[in-house]
Amino acid sequence: MSGKAQKSLLFFYNDYESLGLEYISAVLKASNIKTDLIYKNLIDYYAFDSSKNLKEEFYKKIAREIIERNPDVLALSLLTDTFQINMGIAREVKKLNPEIKVFAGGVHASLLPELTLSYPQVDALCIGEGEYSSLAYMENMDLINSGKTPCIKGVVYKQKGRLVGNLTDYIINEDLDSLPIADKDLFYNADPSMKSHYFVQCSRGCPFVCSYCINDFRSSKVDGKRFRHRTPERIIDELVSAKEKYSFSFVVFVDECFGIDPKWTSHFLSLYTEKLRIPFLVSVHPNLITPQLADLMKEANCWYIAMGVQSLNEEISKNVLKRFIRRERIAKSIEIIRSRGITLQCDHIFGIPGENEKDMLEALSFYNEHRPSLVSVYWLTYYPKAFITNYAKNIGFLSQRDIEDIEHGRSASGIKKVIKYHGINFWFNYFIFFPKWFIRLIIKSGFYYLFKIKNFYITSAFPRALHAILHKKDWNRYYMKRIIMKKLNNLRFWSPS
Ligand code: B12
Ligand code: SF4
């Protein structure tokens, strides 16, 4: 490791634009620390459970790319699904150049710091929000390399075979306005197709405690100040100047749950209506939707709302998912949003312990009658430390071995215990293209059973794409445009040798 004046940190990231890394990069750059990114789109590998097909040569190739950039620190952002991929790369980097420090952070590192540090290729780890912990780590680099043991809030590192740092004392930024604007160029330079739509964050955290979500664990562990907002004016200023710089035509609010504070939301949306009115997407909770909020969103030019429904069995929703939502409330929220002409995607989970075929068919009937624009089906994925993972273990649904696999990210995209509902899954994705009477017939006759198709592209990707082609206000159009741009770009650089 060099004692050179300007330190450099290289991120490796493997899927989509990460605002978390862009915020860290902005803070580091402001302190004259060089940042860079190697970005590979690997979602096909971990989302479709094929990361075990990644060959050793793949890890070696990326490791060589990393070594060529010669960073002081390799920074890895870990999700459970991507843990093993990142560990494979780090292992190869360490073989080629043990001097490069491997610094890990992200959700998985924060959930399981000891387990992550038990991997020999990891030198240091960040728990919690990493902007200022990373800065302090980089600033203390020379001290650490000279064998000293400075104390860095939010960071635990290895020094002469022992761990230095406090696993329970970490940073959660109370004042989001004190953070600089995210360094968008970190990702845009690596993949210019991302510029077609702008990811922005108004808040961090969520007051709900859904059992499959990280927020359940977070709020049980720490104080109640988990939900924080940026000031509306600052977000609007960011968007106005970003629009000039990048000329995107769609905004994605990546807030975990939009509209939690009605006063803040109405102020923000009025400003947005006045200054921007660029089509946008938000994620909401059904209990938060009111006619007033929907009117404000419509006025601000909201095109797309993703709303978590997840289950229509009220008992399961309450006792297993820890979501306290009544069916009538969901129906009302669908009606409020659809009557304003906003595209509505309802998210639904398959494979919840305790749910059976009858529940799934009832849910399909419900969606058929109330008609959101589309339903997005997710097969339940068990993540470490989530209430539902523990619950599944307690009822014998998951074994201790399963839990270990989950914690080591060895079951990419999760252990799926209930995969027998493919016929129903098909109709969850396709009912939107058929009249209500036809779907009623499909359900009643049991014909849905004939459509047991497992192929993701047929069951999910194709109907999504079709909906996007048929509907202007479907944000997946932007996503598709991006994929096409990427493919064309790849073709341009394609060479038979
Ligand atoms: C927005 C979002 C998305 C967006 C954008 C994701 C992205 N790249 O940022 C989209 C829709 C693309 C997405 C996709 C997925 N997501 Co998502 N997503 C979120 C959400 C709601 C917010 C993320 C966010 O922006 N947080 C705010 C930023 C500031 O925090 P952050 O990214 O965690 O980064 C901070 C710290 O973690 C830390 N940090 C992070 N990395 C590093 C690295 C270093 C070196 C250091 C020092 C620090 C550090 O510092 C950052 C700044 O403070 C979270 C929920 C949550 N509470 O985190 C789920 C969440 C992260 N997603 C999750 C999942 C499962 C996925 C998918 C795998 C789903 C799928 N099967 O396709 C994909 C994976 C995509 C990917 N690789 O990014 C899970 C992860 C669970 C787990 N145990 O791993 C979460 C936690 C939701 C949940 N179920 O609880 N997601
Ligand atoms: S509402 Fe969404 S972000 Fe909030 S706890 Fe539930 S799943 Fe997580």
Q: How do residues 265-292 score in pLDDT, each as one tens digit?
A: 999 999 999 999 999 999 999 999 999 9
Taking the CA of 157 as reference, the closest ligand is: 1
8-171: CATH topology: Rossmann fold (3.40.50)
How many angstroms does the Cα of residue 350 sit away from the middle of ligand 1?
21
Least Cα distance to 199 among 265, 259, 246 occurs for 246
Model confidence band, residue 417 (pLDDT cutoffs 50, 70, 90)? low
Q: What is the pLDDT of residues 39-50, one digit of tens each?
A: 987 766 655 555
> pTM for the whole thing?
0.94
For residue 323, what are the contacts with CB-CB under 8 A and spacing of at least 6? 208, 210, 211, 308, 310, 311, 317
Model confidence band, residue 475 (pLDDT cutoffs 50, 70, 90)? confident
Model confidence band, residue 412 (pLDDT cutoffs 50, 70, 90)? low
For residue 206, pLDDT over 70 is answered with yes
Token couple for 4: 């050179």
Least Cα distance to 164 among 178, 179, 148 occurs for 148
Sign of the Cα torsion 295, 298, 302, 306 reads positive
Q: What is the pLDDT of residues 432-447, one digit of tens each?
A: 999 999 999 999 999 9
How many angstroms does the Cα of residue 437 sit away from the middle of ligand 2?
34
Position in ligand 1 atom list of the atom nearest CA 137: 47
Q: What is the pLDDT of residues 8-21, one digit of tens each?
A: 999 999 878 999 99
For residue 415, pLDDT over 80 is answered with no
Model confidence band, residue 220 (pLDDT cutoffs 50, 70, 90)? low
Which residue's CA is minimally distant from atom 8 of ligand 2? 213
251, 198 contact by CB (below 8 A):
yes
Which residue's CA is minimally distant from atom 3 of ligand 2? 256
13 touches ligand 2 (CB under 6 Å):
no
Position in ligand 2 atom list of the atom nearest CA 214: 8
Taking the CA of 414 as reference, the closest ligand is: 1
Choice from 17, 78, 79 to test ligand 1 binding pocket (greatest atom count within 8 A of CB): 79
191-380+415-488: CATH topology: pyruvate-formate lyase- activating enzyme (3.80.30)
User: Using H for helix, E for strand and C for coil, what is the string for 470-485?
Assistant: HCCCCCHHHHHHHHHH
Taking the CA of 35 as reference, the closest ligand is: 1
Q: Distance between CA 389 and CA 381 in Å, rounded? A: 9
289 touches ligand 2 (CB under 6 Å):
no
For the chain, domain boundaries: 8-171, 191-380+415-488
217, 111 contact by CB (below 8 A):
yes
Token couple for 307: 């709303």
Instruction: Return the number of other C-beta atoms located less than 10 Å from residue 186's C-beta.
Output: 23
Sign of the Cα torsion 227, 232, 236, 237 reads negative
304 touches ligand 1 (CB under 6 Å):
no
For residue 224, pLDDT over 50 is answered with no
pLDDT value of position 188? 94
The string over 393-432, giving b where at least 16 C-beta atoms fall within 10 Å of a residue's C-beta and e elsewhere, is beeebbeeebbebbbbbebbbbbeeeeebbbbbbbbbbbb
269 touches ligand 2 (CB under 6 Å):
no
Q: Which of residues 355 and 222 earns the better pLDDT score?
A: 355
Phi, psi values for residue 46, rounded to 5°? -95, -30
200 touches ligand 1 (CB under 6 Å):
no
Q: Distance between CA 158 and CA 141 in Å, rounded? A: 12
How many angstroms does the Cα of residue 441 sit away from the middle of ligand 1?
41
| Range name among 100-104, 217-221, 481-485 with the lowest pLDDT average | 217-221
pLDDT value of position 51? 57
How many angstroms does the Cα of residue 254 sit away from the middle of ligand 1?
10
Taking the CA of 253 as reference, the closest ligand is: 1
pLDDT value of position 456? 84
Q: How many helices (H) and strands (E) does the chain have?
A: 23, 15
CA distances, 422 to each of 350, 372, 418 (Å): 10, 21, 10
Order the strands of the 162-164 sheet from edge to edge.
34-39, 8-13, 73-77, 101-105, 124-126, 155-159, 162-164
How many angstroms does the Cα of residue 445 sit away from the middle of ligand 1?
42
Position in ligand 2 atom list of the atom nearest CA 285: 1
255 touches ligand 2 (CB under 6 Å):
no
Token couple for 280: 């946008």
Q: What is the pLDDT of residues 239-258, one digit of tens each?
A: 999 999 998 999 999 999 99
Q: Distance between CA 151 and CA 134 in Å, rounded? A: 13
383 touches ligand 1 (CB under 6 Å):
yes
Q: What 3-state DSSP class applies to 427?
A: helix
Model confidence band, residue 496 (pLDDT cutoffs 50, 70, 90)? very low
Q: Which of residues 250 and 196 earns the better pLDDT score?
A: 250
Sign of the Cα torsion 201, 203, 207, 213 reads positive
Q: Which of residues 149 and 195 earns the better pLDDT score?
A: 149
For residue 493, pLDDT over 50 is answered with no
Model confidence band, residue 75 (pLDDT cutoffs 50, 70, 90)? very high
Mean pLDDT value of segment 208-215: 89
Model confidence band, residue 477 (pLDDT cutoffs 50, 70, 90)? confident
pLDDT value of position 280? 97
pLDDT value of position 494? 37
The mean pLDDT value of the chain amounts to 90
Above pLDDT 70, what percent of the chain?
90
For residue 160, pLDDT over 50 is answered with yes
For residue 222, pLDDT over 70 is answered with no
Mean pLDDT value of segment 418-439: 90
Q: Distance between CA 163 and CA 254 in Å, rounded? A: 35
Q: Which of residues 475 and 152 earns the better pLDDT score?
A: 152
